[in-house]
Chain A
Amino acid sequence: MSIFSYLLPKKEKSASVAKERLQIIVARERATRGGPDYLPQLQEELLMVVRKYVAVDQDAINIQVDRESGCEILELNITLPDE
C-alpha cells in the first residue's frame, strides 16, 4: 500500500464483501438442509395458490423443516404485502 492510497477515498475491501455474501447464502442453504426433496416444489405450488388471491413476491414465502425431540415440524411463513 503506497502513501498515495491514504489520500484516496476508501473502497470496501473484497474480503468483507465475500464474508457478507457467504453468510447470507450459507444461512439460506442451511435452512433447507436435510429437508425432504419435495420442499422446493411444495413451496412453488403453495405460492401459486396464494397468488390466486393475493399478489405476493417470489421471496415472500419461507419454508423449513425443524426437528424437535423426534417430531418434524413443517414451518411455513408467507409475508403478505401492505395494502
Chain B
Amino acid sequence: MTKIVVVTSGKGGVGKTTTSAALATGLAQRGHKTTVIDFDVGLRNLDLIMGCERRVVYDLVNVINGDANLKQGLIKDKRVEDLFILPASQTRDKDALTLEGVEKVLEGLKDMGMEYIICDSPAGIEKGALTAAYFADEAVVVTNPEVSSVRDSDRILGILSSKTRKAELGEGDIPASLLLTRYSPERVERGEMLSVEDVKDILAIDLLGVIPESQAVLNASNSGAPVILDSESDAGKAYEDAVARFLGEQRPHRFLTANKKGLFGRLFGAQ
C-alpha cells in the first residue's frame, strides 16, 4: 500500500522543500521505502536541500517524456537506506508536467514498492501546485505564523477539498494537517506573533507539528543534509516528532515556550 502525500502551502518561502526533505528522510530512517518528488518545474531546489545536486542526470519531465526510465531518474540517497529523490526539471515549459504523465510515474513508484511518495509542491495555485496535489491521499500544509501565509494556507485547503482526484471522484476531502514552521515562542509570548492556538483556530485542521525558528535549518540547507539528520538540533527534533505523529504515534508538542529569562534580564529589559 502506497501513500501519496503532498506538501503544500500556497505561499512561497515558508518551508515546503525543507519539510518535504525532512519528512521523506524521517520516514526512510524508520524503514519505510520513500520517494520525494520535486514538482517545482523550472525552479528545481529539492536536490540542493537533499545534497544530491551533482548527481542529477535525468529529471521528472525526462521520465514522463520517456527520455529515461524511472530507475534512471531516481537518485538513491547515500545516507539513508530506502530513500529516493526524483528532481524537478529545469525546463521553462510548464506544460511538460501532464496529469497522465505524473500518474504513470506514481504508478511506477507503487510497482517498485514505495510506501510513501512525498510530493514537494511549488508555491502558488497554478497548474504545478494543482498537479502536485491531484493524486494525493493526504496533505501536509506548511504555514508560518504570519497573516499572508495563514490566509494562503486556508485558500489551499479550499482547493484541496475540490481539486484532488479523490474530491473529483466524490470520495471526499483528503486529510490535511498543519505544520507550523519558523515559530518563535519568545515573540508569541510578547504578543508579536500569532500563536499555534491562533493558527489552529483559524485553519481548523489537526496539528502535525511546530518547528521552531532555528539556525539549524539554514545550516542544513547550507550543507545539503536534511535538518532531521541534525538530531541534536531543536528543529531536527521537532521534525522527528512530526514524523512520529505522521505515523500515528502520540507525542507531546515541544519547543512551544520561551526559555525563561532571569530576574535581572526581566528588570533591565534584555531581549
Contact A29 B266 (CB under 8 A): no
Contact B188 A22 (CB under 8 A): no
Q: Cβ of A2 < 8 Å from any Cβ of B?
A: yes
Contact B202 A19 (CB under 8 A): yes
Chain B, interface residues (CB within 8 Å), range: 20 to 34
Chain B residues with Cβ below 8 Å from A51 are none
Contact B150 A22 (CB under 8 A): yes
Interface locus among A10-18, A53-61, A71-79: A10-18
Interface residues of A in 26-72 (CB under 8 A from B): 26, 29-30, 33-34
Q: Cβ of A25 < 8 Å from any Cβ of B?
A: yes
B147, B161, B194, B267: which contacts A34 (Cβ < 8 A)?
B161
Distance between Cα atoms of A3 and B154 in the complex (Å)? 40
Contact A2 B192 (CB under 8 A): no
Determine the main DSSP class of B at the interface with A. Answer: helix
Contact B147 A15 (CB under 8 A): no
Chain A, interface residues (CB within 8 Å), range: 20 to 34
Interface residues of B in 139-157 (CB under 8 A from A): 146-147, 150-151, 154-155
Distance between Cα atoms of A18 and B151 in the complex (Å)? 11
Contact A30 B147 (CB under 8 A): no
Distance between Cα atoms of A26 and B199 in the complex (Å)? 12
CB distance from A22 to the nearest CB of B (A): 5
CB distance from B145 to the nearest CB of A (A): 8
Contact A2 B267 (CB under 8 A): yes
Given A1-B269, A2-B267, A26-B151, decide whether A14 and B202 contact each other with a Cβ distance below 8 A.
no
CB distance from B166 to the nearest CB of A (A): 15
Given A1-B269, A3-B267, A18-B147, decide whether A26 and B192 contact each other with a Cβ distance below 8 A.
no
CB distance from A46 to the nearest CB of B (A): 24
Distance between Cα atoms of A18 and B202 in the complex (Å)? 11
Contact A14 B192 (CB under 8 A): yes
Chain B residues with Cβ below 8 Å from A5 are 269
Contact B155 A15 (CB under 8 A): no
Chain B residues with Cβ below 8 Å from A19 are 194, 198, 201-202
Closest B-chain residue to A16, C-beta based?
A: B191
Contact B158 A2 (CB under 8 A): no
Closest B-chain residue to A14, C-beta based?
A: B192
Closest 10 CB pairs of A and B: A2-B269, A13-B191, A33-B158, A19-B198, A15-B191, A26-B154, A18-B147, A22-B202, A15-B194, A3-B267
Beyond the given pairs A22-B147, A23-B202, 12 more chain A to chain B contacts, judged by CB atoms under 8 angstroms and listed by A's residue number, are A2-B268, A3-B268, A3-B269, A15-B188, A15-B194, A16-B191, A18-B198, A19-B202, A22-B150, A29-B158, A33-B158, A34-B162
Interface residue ranges, B against A (CB under 8 Å)? 146-147, 150-151, 154-155, 158, 161-162, 188, 190-195, 198, 201-202, 266-269
Listed by A's residue number, 7 A-B pairs whose Cβ atoms lie within 8 Å are A14-B192, A15-B188, A15-B198, A22-B202, A26-B150, A34-B161, A34-B162
